[in-house]
Amino acid sequence: MEKSRGKTASQSDVVESLDSQRLVQDALDLVNVNSPTGREGEAAELYATKLRALGMKVVMQEVEERRYNVLATLRGDDSGAATLMFNGHLDTSFAADEDLEILHSISPVYRPGPPWGRVEGDWLYGMGAFNMKSALAAYAAAVRTIQDSGEQKLPGDIVIAGVVGEIEKTQVDHYNGPQYRGYGHGTAYLVSHGGTADVAILGEPTGLRLMCAHSGSCWFKIGLRGALVHTGHAGSTKNAILQMNRILTALEKWIPDYQARFSYMGSIPTVNVGSIEGGWPWRASRTPGFCNLYLDVRFPPRHHALDIRNEVRTVLGRLKAEEGISADLDLYVTDEWSEISEDEYVSHSVKKAHESIFQNSVETVYFSWSSDANILTRHGIPAVNYGPSGGPGKETRGTMYIPNLVSCAKVYTISAMDICSKSRAEIRKQTK
């Protein structure tokens, strides 16, 4: 197989042709489309148009009505060569037209109306600039740069997947509909409908650091039922909200012990009380007939979701024995962890590409947030996260440091040339 494209000199020449203005404009165009989870259709159509203009074959996978995965392929000329997937999500955590008070509690950069995005100096601002439309633009820039360099067609395929429903949210109770169908919804559809590769790179905002592993998460609903009694007769009634407070206290005592026992790579797993609902604010003259608590427990690689459920069950069991409080426990999200070896070829390739651009070693990190790498790895596609974000000390939602974005696109270009010039056998074999 032809290996000449793996040479460093050729790679250096290629990345010099990267069109940074086009890259920034593509990112800005995507940011200016409002695409919260459930409303990704317009962003998908725009992204598909950009990828078709690069000569890529584009398939629009309708995951559900007006929610499309964009699956684009640039064919190589050797069927035995490796295929690389760039995978990224089209949806944003919040809507660009959300209540401004909510948005400003996340980041001060959001605007009250369109255009949602803007460029000021070395910074790109707007919903999705950080997570992760800038990376989507960088994928396209890598393909364009290889083409603009005058290089002949690569041996292997480059696949770009812009997916719906990655954001960490889910349906539960009366919260139903496409706006709640996230947590890998699009990539799960992708990999079961022809979207595959030998290895994958995801451009989640890691700050140009390499993430070979991330945590899993379990979401629990802890429910209490209460008697519905008028305030005037409620003196001796056990109040479900007050009982839930005892559960909260027990969980607070458990968390440090759990974190100590489940630490990984020097990082402790985070636990978050995400929501509590109980009673009816318009009927405060009655004791609450119910109280539900929603808990997010992160857990490290190599543990099972049932291990985590047993942890929470033990806390509730102890409280029942000691105080007679009996709660229902439902596990309603099981998002798996992801972990691949730093010796996998995709890790090795990104490391080399980073070193080529920055002349120093890439930092390896582990985070408690999730990505679709967990779905890809479980379908036999070793996946890493490496993406742009803010400048040094400024990794803020809604912001993208353009020099980092440009450098990241160069890393993607070099890594794509490297991986797609290798045989599938080389890529599949762990580096020794």
**What is the per-residue pLDDT across 78-114, written as a single tens digit (0 to 9) for each?**
999 999 999 999 999 999 999 999 999 999 999 999 9
Mean pLDDT, range 390-419, rounded to an integer: 91
**pLDDT exceeds 50 at position 120:** yes
Strand order in the sheet with 271-278: 271-278, 290-299, 216-225, 328-335
Residue 396's pLDDT band, with cuts at 50, 70 and 90, is: confident
In the 8-state DSSP scheme, what is residue 6?
Answer: G
The confidence score (pLDDT) of residue 171 equals 97
Question: What is the residue extent of each domain of the chain?
Answer: 4-214+337-428, 216-335
pLDDT for position 236 = 85
Q: For residues 209 and 366, give the distance between their C-alpha atoms in angstroms, rounded to a whole number.
A: 10
* Range 370-382 average pLDDT: 97
Mean pLDDT of all residues in the chain? 94
Q: What is the pLDDT of residues 66-85, one digit of tens each?
A: 999 999 999 999 999 999 99
Q: Is the pLDDT of residue 355 over 70?
A: yes
The percent of residues in the chain predicted with pLDDT above 90, rounded, is 91
Beta pairing partners, 84: 158, 199
Instruction: Write down the pLDDT at residue 58.
Output: 98
Mean of pLDDT values over 357-378: 96
Rounded-to-integer distance, Cα 66 and Cα 216, Å = 29
Q: How far apart are CA 134 and CA 29, in angstroms?
A: 10
**Among 199, 1, 188, 178, residue whose Cα is nearest residue 82:** 199
Query: Residue 429 has what pLDDT?
Result: 78
Q: Over range 135-150, report the average pLDDT.
A: 94
* Average pLDDT of the residues in 164-181: 98
User: Does 201 score more than 60 pLDDT?
Assistant: yes
Choose between 150 and 157: higher pLDDT. Answer: 157
Continuous H helices in 80-203: 100-106, 134-148, 185-191
pLDDT digits (tens, 9 = 90+) for 209-268: 999 999 999 999 999 999 999 999 988 899 999 999 999 999 999 999 999 999 999 999
User: Number of H helices and number of E strands within the chain?
Assistant: 12, 16
| Cα-only R_g, the chain | 24
> Which tops the pLDDT comparison, 278 or 390?
278
**Could you tell me if 107 and 223 are in contact, meaning their C-beta atoms sit under 8 angstroms apart?**
no
pLDDT tens for each residue of 335-346: 999 999 999 999
Distances (CA, A) of 58 to 27, 50, 52: 19, 10, 6
pTM, rounded to two decimals: 0.95
Cis peptide before 417 (omega within 30 of 0): no
Going by C-alpha positions, the residue among 360, 409, 328 that lies closest to residue 88 is 409
DSSP letters of 217-286?
A: EEEEEEEEE----BGGG-TTSPPHHHHHHHHHHHHHHHHHHHHHHT-BTTBPPPEEEEEEEES-GGGTTB
Q: Is the pLDDT of residue 373 over 90?
A: yes
Tokens 């709640």: give the residue. Answer: 180
Question: What is the CATH topology of the domain spanning 4-214+337-428?
Answer: Aminopeptidase (3.40.630)
DSSP secondary structure code for residue 363 in this structure: P
pLDDT of residue 12: 80
The CATH number given to 216-335 is: 3.30.70.360
C-beta separation of 162 from 30 below 8 A: no
Count of CB atoms situated within 10 Å of the CB of 284: 10
- What is the reported pLDDT for 432? 43
Residue 395 pLDDT class (50, 70, 90 cuts): confident
What per-residue confidence (pLDDT) applies to 209? 96
Asked if residue 383 has pLDDT above 70, the reply is: yes
pLDDT value at residue 149: 84
Do residues 214 and 367 lie in contact, with contact meaning Cβ atoms separated by under 8 Å?
yes
Structure tokens at 310: 């047993």
pLDDT tens for 3-36 read: 444 444 478 889 999 999 999 999 999 999 999 9
